[in-house]
C-alpha cells in the first residue's frame, strides 16, 4: 500500500483526531499533576493586610479586645483564602480528570480504526522483495 493510498481524506481525519486528542491528553495530565500538587502543598501566599488598631487610629492605643478582634479577622481571612485555593485546586483536578476521561477513549477509538485499516504485514524473507497480494 503506497503512501498516497493511505493518505485519504478519511485517514487524514483519523490521524488529525488522534493528534488533537493526544495533545489534549498530555496537557490534561500535566494540569492534573499540577493541581494535585497544589492541593497537597498549597501556596502560603499573601492573605491581605488587616491594619492594626494603632494604625487605623493614629495617636491612640488599642485595647486588648480590639487587638484580639484584629487577630481573629486576620485568621478568618487566611482561612477563607486557603479554602478558596483548595476549592480551585479541586475544580482543576475534576476538570483535568474529565478532560482525560473524554480524550483518552476518543483517541483509542480512532487509533484502533487506523490500525484496523492498515494492511497486514507478512514475514519478509532476507534479500527478496515482498510479493504483492493477488
pTM: 0.69
What pLDDT band is residue 22 in, cutting at 50, 70 and 90? very high
Does 38 map to a domain? yes
Backbone torsions φ then ψ of 81, nearest 5 degrees: -65, -45
Does 128 map to a domain? no
Does 133 map to a domain? no
Does 31 map to a domain? yes
Does 28 map to a domain? yes
Does 98 map to a domain? yes
Predicted confidence (pLDDT) at residue 122 exceeds the cutoff of 70: no
Backbone torsions φ then ψ of 122, nearest 5 degrees: -85, 170
Residue 93's domain comprises: 3-117
What tens digit of pLDDT does each residue of 88-114 get?
999 999 999 999 999 999 999 999 998
Q: How far is CA 27 from CA 22, 35, 36, 52, 96, in A?
A: 9, 12, 14, 45, 9
Predicted confidence (pLDDT) at residue 19 exceeds the cutoff of 70: yes
DSSP state of 58: T
Rounded to the nearest integer, the mean pLDDT of the chain is 83
Does 46 map to a domain? yes
Predicted confidence (pLDDT) at residue 2 exceeds the cutoff of 90: no
What tens digit of pLDDT does each residue of 37-78 get?
999 988 777 656 656 665 555 666 777 887 788 888 888 888
Q: Domains in the chain: how many in total?
A: 1
Does 124 map to a domain? no
Q: How far is CA 33 from CA 10, 17, 26, in A?
A: 35, 24, 11
Amino acid at each position: 500500500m503506497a503512501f498516497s493510498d493511505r493518505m485519504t481524506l478519511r485517514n487524514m481525519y483519523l490521524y488529525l483526531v488522534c493528534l488533537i486528542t493526544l495533545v489534549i491528553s498530555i496537557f490534561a495530565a500535566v494540569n492534573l499533576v499540577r493541581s494535585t500538587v497544589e492541593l497537597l502543598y498549597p501556596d502560603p501566599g499573601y492573605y491581605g493586610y488587616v491594619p492594626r488598631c494603632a494604625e487605623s487610629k493614629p495617636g491612640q492605643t488599642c485595647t486588648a479586645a480590639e487587638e484580639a478582634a484584629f487577630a481573629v479577622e486576620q485568621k478568618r481571612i487566611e482561612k477563607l483564602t486557603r479554602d478558596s485555593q483548595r476549592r480551585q485546586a479541586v475544580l482543576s483536578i475534576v476538570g483535568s480528570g474529565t478532560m482525560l476521561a473524554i480524550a483518552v477513549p476518543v483517541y483509542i477509538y480512532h487509533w484502533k480504526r487506523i490500525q484496523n485499516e492498515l494492511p497486514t504485514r507478512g514475514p519478509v524473507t532476507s534479500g527478496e522483495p515482498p510479493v504483492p497480494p493477488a
